[in-house]
């Protein structure tokens, strides 16, 4: 995956023969923030009435409904200033996620989520190789630290290579998408995913808003 400067856009690095120049852009109606603006775009994962979401709110927009393309990418969620960075990470099924420790203390990352259960144990910043896990089942994975109870992060494992995290204003842009009939989905929190059927045509930009 590659992020384009200036846009909240993820481009899937697929063979050119299966790529078409369709684009989807729009905006997701995000819930109102329950906290003051976060300095330096720092987001945290909060739980209210059993619902997991980011604060301030973010969404993950992704394209579903086409033949599966299996890749083996690598991504990272760091522990920095006693927080997961980023706090919300969408990945494709089969992605290896590394968990580098950037704090001057031990961390002990684990998850009891059905989509991925693991326990990395305690490790220092200089731990090599960097502790990692392969996420091979679609679903939501909640990350915790056994030492720092306030720490919480989310990994959204998707069976698609086409996804993007919205900006704080809810805007998104997905480009270099395959032409055809699909379903565009917007994950907003652990209990809320909205969807719209879409018809993508090569060379066209489709505007979709999720109210």
* pLDDT for position 43: 85
Q: What is the DSSP string of 105-148?
A: S-EEEEEEETTEEEEEEEE-TT-SSPPEEEE-S-EEEEEEESS-
**What are the tens digits of pLDDT across the range 52-63?**
999 999 999 999
Cα(106)–Cα(32) distance, rounded to whole angstroms? 35
Give residue-wise pLDDT tens across range 26-40: 999 999 876 555 445
Q: Are 47 and 149 in contact (CB under 8 A)?
A: no
Domains of the chain: 1-31+59-66+167-211 (2.60.40.10), 67-159 (2.60.40.420)
Tell me what the mean pLDDT of segment 185-199 comes to. 96
Q: Quote the percentage of the chain above a pLDDT of 70.
A: 86
Closest CA to 141 of 124, 165, 158: 158
pLDDT at 21 over 50: yes
Predicted local distance difference test score (pLDDT) of residue 7: 38
How many residues in the chain? Answer: 211
The confidence band for 105, taking pLDDT boundaries of 50, 70 and 90, is very high
Greater confidence, 184 or 12?
Answer: 184
127-166 tens-digit pLDDT: 999 999 999 999 999 999 999 999 999 999 999 999 999 9
Q: What is the pLDDT of residue 35?
A: 58
Q: Given phi > 0 = left and psi -120 to 50 = alpha, else beta, which region is 40? A: left
The pLDDT value given to residue 33: 78
Strand, helix or coil for residue 84? strand
Distance CA 172, CA 113 (A): 28
Nearest to 77, CA basis, from 59, 96, 63, 61: 96
Confidence category of residue 41, pLDDT binned at 50, 70, 90: low
Q: Which carries the bigger pLDDT value, residue 105 or residue 7?
A: 105
Rounded Cα gap, residues 120 and 49, in angstroms: 28
pLDDT of residue 11: 43
């Amino acid at each position: 995956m590659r992020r384009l400067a200036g846009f909240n856009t993820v481009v899937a690095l697929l063979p050119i023969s299966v790529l078409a120049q369709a684009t989807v852009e729009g905006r997701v109606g995000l819930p109102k923030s329950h906290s003051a603006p976060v300095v330096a775009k720092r987001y945290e994962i909060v739980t209210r009435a059993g619902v997991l979401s980011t604060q301030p709110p973010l969404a993950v927009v992704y394209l579903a409904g086409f033949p599966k393309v299996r890749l083996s990418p690598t991504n990272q969620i760091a522990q920095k200033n006693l927080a997961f960075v980023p706090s919300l990470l969408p990945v494709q099924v089969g992605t290896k996620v590394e968990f580098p420790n950037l704090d001057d203390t031990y961390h002990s990352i684990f998850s009891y989520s059905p989509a991925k259960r693991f326990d990395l144990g305690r490790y220092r910043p200089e731990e090599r190789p960097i502790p990692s896990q392969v996420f091979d089942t679609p679903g939501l994975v909640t990350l915790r630290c056994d030492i720092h109870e306030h720490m919480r992060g989310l990994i959204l494992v998707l069976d698609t290579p086409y996804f993007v995290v919205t900006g704080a204003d809810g805007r998104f842009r997905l480009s270099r998408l395959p032409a055809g009939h699909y379903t565009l989905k917007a994950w907003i929190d652990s209990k809320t995913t909205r969807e719209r059927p879409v018809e993508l045509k090569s060379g066209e930009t489709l505007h979709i808003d999720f109210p």
